[in-house]
Structures are given as structure tokens and as C-alpha cells.
Chains A and B, each alone.
Chain A
Amino acid sequence: MSDHNYVPSTKLGKWFNDRLPLLSLSAHLSEYPTPKNLNYWWTFGGILTFCLIAQIVTGIVLAMHYVAHADLAFESVEHIMRDVNYGWLIRYIHANGSSMFFLAVYIHIFRSLYYGSHKSPREVIWIIGMIIYFLMMMTAFMGYVLPWGQMSFWAATVITNLFSAVPLIGESITNWLWGGFAVDSPTLTRFYALHYLFPFLILGLVILHIWALHIPGNNNPVGIDVKKPSKDTVPFHPYIVIKDLFALLVFLTLFAFFVFYSPNLLGHPDNYIEANPLVTPTHIVPEWYLLPFYAILRSIPDKLLGVVAMFASIFVLVILPWLDTSKIRSAVFRPLYKQFYWILVLDVLVLGYMGALPPEGIYLLIARIATAYYFIHFLVILPVLGFKEKTIPLPLSISEPVLNESHEAVNNNKMSTE
């Protein structure tokens, strides 16, 4: 961060900056050299920051009206929807906001996988990102429990019961998590407390994520190291800021579509029925963004191994920088990896779809094949591919392919005019 010597222009600014270099930090952020070839897949970092802030702001507002007690929670959510001024809007933004947050984070993660942003020297950025992703899933799950509808209650029951698979101490762990012998009011209050805490932990990790990013600088679609600052970079402000804002605007259009035109499309009608510990809804499914993991859980016929496989599917992502042995970052120069990448995308989509269907017959079989492939991709294909694949030669700089193309374009023009 101290790679430039910023001197504030005013005397007051200099006085303050000598004592707390906030102005230097802001100058660093604004001048931060960014590869000039970043495409729109790189705008999701900014979009995600927006999502986090939006969730925190709407969440704090909702907390002013919500009551975390098994007898009152469901009613207080209805109170927010019907009585509180703009309560419906704030709650719908918060509820759909979590879906939009996950949509953006999945694009962000798959962007990294395609362009190799998880590879050296960016492993720590990637691992912090995976911790953020894991905390996001926990936060979203606990938030989903708060309205205390049928889906809330049974999601809480099923997910906390995952820990009962632990040998010997499983039951003690679940009783400790519940504060009782089943999911009940004590469970709800502690989930509320943690649901309020976790977004701030995520915020802290986001700061570390960006800090770690600013050490090597951004990866880029070509995936080669960029000299910075140089002809290959542009300052973050205004170039990237404006581009990010434009992308955010497009993203917000989709967001607004959900909030205003189909606010319950991504939810489940059963969650408008108050929690009832005596009746399990006939078809319980988690929110869409957790479905692939749910499919992995259900595709293993053994309880403990199912839980292990589900957590392992996240853990393989954490150690990905060492599983992916190829030195070439971008899939643009890896013809085979590019194909396996799209098969993985398809595989995860299939897993998600199977997670929403009942685990019977052909669906179960497909889910099992997709689960097996998921692990094969990370544990077999990626390590082997790094040694076997014949990659396309890398350009010397990110300008080179662009300049060559424009040279050719100029030549072509000349030829056509002649």
C-alpha cells in the first residue's frame, strides 16, 4: 500500500494524514492500477459489496420491528409486511437480496474458476473468499429460520441434525445447538443473535479480501502478470468505478424485477404457514442457492458419509489452488480445461436441479453421477490436466493480442480500399 508517496494538498489534510493516513488510503484506492482488459465479469466484486451493504442496512431496519420468540416471530413478520411503513418493501429487498447476493457470488466464483484467479499469487484472496462464501451460507440459513414459518422450522431441524451424524457426541452437539431437545424458542433467539453478527464478520473479511487483492493486483482475462502502473493498466477511478456502476445498474434492474413483480418467486409458499413441530411439509427443499449441496447430501445413502461429502464439496474448493496444477491461469489458453469448465458448470446446475426434485429413481441416479463427477473434476481431472494439457502460447502483454488484431483490421481495411 505504501508504493506511492501521496501528499495532501491542504495543510489540514497533511496534518491529519500524518496522524492517520486515511487520505493516503483513499488516494491508493483511487489510483489503484487495474488491467485495462477487464471485462464485465469483473464487475461482480463491486456488485457484491453493494449487496452486503444493502443486506446490512435493510437488516438493521427489520431488526427494529422483528421479535425473536417462537410465539411472536411469525406474527411480527406479518406485522412488518402489513403495518410497518414500507415494511413490505424493506423485507422484500432483504429476502430477495439474499438470492441476488448468491447469484452474484456464484458468478464471481465461476469467473475466478474460468480465468484462474485462484492461482498463485492469489491463493489467500481465494481462501478468504471461500470463508466469506461459507459464512454467507450460514448467515442466509439462519436468516431463513427467523420468520418461523414451516420451511424455516424444518430447515433449522434438518440442518442442525446434520451434526447428529457426528459419532458419540452428535446428540450432545445438537442439544447444545438447540438449547433444548428440539428446535424451539432458544434456537430462534441464538440464530437471531448470530444472524446479526455474521454480516459484520463478512464485512471484516471483505476488507481483508480487498487488501489481499491489492497486493498482487487484479487478475485479467488473459491471465498473465501485468506491469503496474503501465500502458496495460488504467487507474481504478474513474475507469473501473464507472464501469462497475453501470453493471450495478443493470444488476439492480433484475433485482427490482424480483422485488416489485415477483417477490415470492424464489421463496416457498409453505413458509407463510406458521411453524408446527408436529407436521413436516411433504416436500422440503432449501433455498435455490443451497440446492447443489443438498443434492450431494441426499445422493449418499449413509447419514455420516452424506454429511461428510457435503462439507467436503466445499472444502475441495478451499484447497483448489493446489489441486489445479496448471501454471496457465486463463481458460482462454487452456483448450481442454475450457471444456471441463463448462461440464462442471453444467454438473453444478444439474446437481441444483436434482436437489429440488424428490430423491427417487432416476433423479437419485442422476444426482449420484453428478456428485461423483463433481469430486472427479476437482480431485482427478484438475491435477492431471495441469501436466497433460497442451496449452496455447501466452501473449507477451495484454496489449499484444489487441494490437495485433487492430493491425490486422487496419491491413484488411487497406486491402479492401485498394
Chain B
Amino acid sequence: MSDQKKPKRRDFLFTASYTIGAVGVGAAVWPLIDQMNPDASVKALASTEVDISSVEPGKSITVLWRGKPVFIKRRTEEEIAEARAVKLDELKHPEKDEDRAKNPEWLVMVGICTHLGCVPLGDKGDYNGWFCPCHGSHYDTSGRIRKGPAPVNMEIPKYEFVNSNIIKIG
């Protein structure tokens, strides 16, 4: 009875069986979990090209990219100046406007409020940018969060100017 604490052959067999069993169950469950992730056909729609030649200054268009709205805003001089005049320490999520808009005239960003995913309304709110009607987040003319529950600025997607009239998002 005294040598009961010493691991025996049987203890080893139990531990080994449980381990193999756990690995096997994990391997069997993984496909059932992973099937819910974005599938190949969804991922295939990775990029969108947009013609922006008809957008007037001060106006914006909204396009769908990967099922999400993307705002393409042609900003006026005042809007650019307003965005650039803001000091970084006034911002909840400090980002320079220069880093958000490669070409200051064009602001390209995912039009989804970073709070809970609603689409903010343009030319609204306390900072002349966007206002989310769902839970009251205010964004400035650079799409940065200024007031309300959203934690971060609106996301800038990967994009490039194919030529002066075409933007490729994604």
C-alpha cells in the first residue's frame, strides 16, 4: 500500500489514452468550427476597383467592398484644413490626418462605426464629419472618433490609385 503514490504502468496507460483521446477529439471538432470562417468564395472577392472621376469636391460615394460600405470622400480645402489643424492630444485615438489620407483630397475609409458596426451618416455631427445614429458617435472630417462610445477611428482599408480616376480597394 505504501508504494501507491508511485506512478504505475496503468497510470501511464490512462494518461496516454486521455491525451490521444483529447487530441483526436480536437482534430475531429476543428473542421466543424473552422467551417464557419469566411469561405473561399468570400475571400475571393478581395479587391474592388472604383471609378471616382464623377465625384465633385465636398461629395462622397459609398461602395461595397467585402460586403462592407467604403466611403470615398473628395474633401474640400476647408475640410482638409480642419482635419489637419487638430492637435493629436485632443484625440481619443491619435492619428495624423496625413497618415490617414495619402492624397489629402481623397479620404478612403471603411464606413463602419467602430462601436457596433452601423453606417455613420455623412456631413453630420459636432465635428462636421460623420455621425453614427445608433449610439451617438461623432467623427471628424478625417473619420477620427471625437465623441461617443466608439473606441477607435474608422478603419482605412488597403487601397491604391491605379490612375487619377480609378481607386483599387483591397
Contact = CB atoms under 8 A, between A and B. Distances in A.
Nearest to B33: A176
Contacts of B136: 358-360
Interface string B119-146: 1110000000000111110000000000
B70 to A, nearest CB: 10
Interface residues of B, number: 29
A101 B36 CA distance: 30
A316 interface: no
Contact of B69 (A177, A277, A281): A277
A301 B36 CA distance: 32
B67 A181 contact: yes
A282 interface: yes
Contacts of B134: 154, 158, 280, 284
Contacts, number: 89
A183 B118 CA distance: 11
Nearest to B120: A280
B39 A186 contact: yes
A400 interface: no
A279 interface: yes
Contact of B149 (A154, A180, A190, A298): A298
A306 interface: yes
B116 A176 contact: no
A179 B42 contact: yes
Interface residues of A, number: 37
B135 A175 contact: no
B149 A179 contact: no
Contacts of B2: none
Nearest to A284: B134
B36 A157 contact: no
A283 interface: yes
A188 to B, nearest CB: 12
Contacts of B132: 280
A161 interface: yes
A180 B118 contact: no
Given A175-B38, A280-B133, A161 B117 contact: yes
Contacts of B164: none
A113 interface: no
Nearest to A160: B117
Contacts of B150: 303
Chain A contact residues: over half helix, strand or loop, or mixed?
Answer: loop
B36 A190 contact: yes
Given A158-B117, A181-B42, A278-B119, A298 B135 contact: yes
A280 B137 CA distance: 14
A182 interface: yes
Contacts of B112: 182
Contacts of A277: 64, 67-69, 119
B57 interface: no
Given A282-B133, A359-B135, A179 B118 contact: no
A179 B116 contact: no
Contacts of A158: 116-118, 134
B42 A186 contact: yes
Interface in A216-230: none
B66 interface: yes
Nearest to A294: B135
Interface string A332-363: 00000000000000000000000000111000
Given A176-B37, A180-B67, A298-B135, A280 B42 contact: no
Nearest to A300: B149
A280 B135 CA distance: 12
Interface of A: 154, 157-158, 160-162, 164, 175-184, 186, 190, 277-284, 298, 300-304, 306, 358-360
> What 8 pairs between A and B have smallest CB-CB spacing?
A182-B67, A161-B117, A181-B66, A161-B116, A280-B118, A158-B116, A157-B117, A280-B119
Interface of B: 33, 36-39, 42, 62, 64, 66-69, 112, 115-121, 132-136, 148-151
7 contacts: A157-B118, A160-B117, A180-B67, A186-B38, A277-B64, A284-B118, A359-B136
Given A181-B38, A360-B136, 5 more contacts: A162-B116, A176-B37, A179-B39, A277-B69, A303-B115
